[in-house]
Copies of this chain bind each other. A is one copy, B any other.
Amino acid sequence: MKFSYEPVCLKPKHTFKIAREEVEGDKFENVIIRLEHEGVTGWGEAAPFLIYGENQATVVAALETFRPLIEKWRDPWKAEKMMAELDGALEWNFAAKAGIDAALYDIQGKIAGLPLCSMLGLDPGDTPLSTFTIGIDTPEVVRSKVREVLDCPLLKIKLGGPADLEILRVIREEAPKASIRVDANCGWTPHKALAMIEELVDYGVEFVEQPLPPSEVEGMRWLHARSPLPLMADESCERLHHIPACVGQFDSINIKLAKCGGVRHALKMIGCARAHGLQIMLGCMLESSVLITAAAHISPLVDFADLDGAVLIANDPFSGMRFESGRMALPEGPGLGVIPR
């Protein structure tokens, strides 16, 4: 296979703040991946995330480590084994692996003449509604952001700052009927979290994502036994083998392709989460339409979607899944169905 990639700098429409300051930023440096097999092009994307020890440079280094293996690949239908080769060549580096994984699915779908969702037996009409994310900001900026997206029935609010409740009041004033999901991004302590969650009930919040840091296992068990709202794992559940420990701490998990290593791993996580009675959200990093669309293709398998990553950026280099007032419309073309702009 022919293999190339291009570092890209994705610019968010608004500065993106969450509770962990290291991911605050005004640009997101991803890598667009291109595989070519017998004239068929497969697109993928690596969305590195600092807290997993990845940035654009580590992605490039990982891809160069993978290059000699990838260039020997002759059959895109042996993808499971090929991806295992990459795992054998380099531990971790899941963003880079997720990008290759997506490109292989794109090639497979284009050869078979089928959208990825169809290859997996899924109905493109069954995508769940997606949330639209409102980042941490001053109450007045939050107010203007909410006004921009009043047609979206699901809002995800990043909390974990000093003005949390004031922000929620503003949102409820502006969007009295929207369903609100809260992401604390590890920003609370157990007692602070319980106090906050008890307040959140009054604002009609649907669930709370990652209230405590992943190391706070006992704190999460304590909180889970008391929380009046369902709790979702994000940082506590990166990959397949983290799922069993989520039982007793969380009610649901947030699966992200860049975090778990791609679609094939996400599918395994979905099966495992079902075995444990955990609900499932598909989430994203700040990503272009390439990786977002890959996730959207498997979204008919999950309960919740938080796949607004491409809508939040101003310079998306691809078209793919269209986000229409929270509804996710999959592209009709084969594979991922993404097209360079």
Interface residues of A (CB under 8 A from B): 77-81, 83, 104, 108, 112-114, 118-123, 126, 240-241, 243-244, 247, 264, 267-272, 274-277, 300-301
A77 surroundings in chain B (CB, below 8 A): 114, 118-119, 121
Q: Let me know if A122 and B274 touch, CB within 8 A.
A: no
Q: Let me know if B122 and A80 touch, CB within 8 A.
A: yes
Interface of A is mostly: helix
CA distance A104 to B244 in the complex (A): 31
A118 surroundings in chain B (CB, below 8 A): 77-78
Q: Let me know if A78 and B241 touch, CB within 8 A.
A: no
CA distance A306 to B303 in the complex (A): 36
Q: Let me know if B271 and A126 touch, CB within 8 A.
A: no
A271 surroundings in chain B (CB, below 8 A): 240, 267-272
CA distance A247 to B79 in the complex (A): 30
Q: Let me know if A121 and B78 touch, CB within 8 A.
A: yes
Q: Let me know if A240 and B274 touch, CB within 8 A.
A: yes
Q: Let me know if B244 and A276 touch, CB within 8 A.
A: yes
Given A77-B121, A122-B81, A268–B276 Cβ distance below 8 Å? no
* Smallest CB gap from A241: residue in B: B275
Q: What 5 A-B pairs have minimum CB-CB distances, sorted nearest first?
A: A268-B271, A79-B121, A77-B118, A272-B272, A80-B121
Q: Let me know if A275 and B114 touch, CB within 8 A.
A: no
A108 surroundings in chain B (CB, below 8 A): 121
Chain B nearest CB, measured from A37 CB (Å): 14
A270 surroundings in chain B (CB, below 8 A): 268, 271
CA distance A275 to B244 in the complex (A): 7
Given A119-B119, A267-B267, A271-B271, A126–B81 Cβ distance below 8 Å? yes
27 residue pairs A–B, Cβ–Cβ below 8 Å: A77-B114, A77-B118, A77-B119, A77-B121, A78-B118, A78-B121, A78-B122, A78-B123, A79-B121, A80-B120, A80-B121, A80-B123, A80-B300, A80-B301, A81-B126, A112-B112, A240-B271, A240-B274, A240-B275, A241-B274, A241-B276, A241-B277, A267-B271, A268-B274, A270-B271, A272-B272, A272-B275
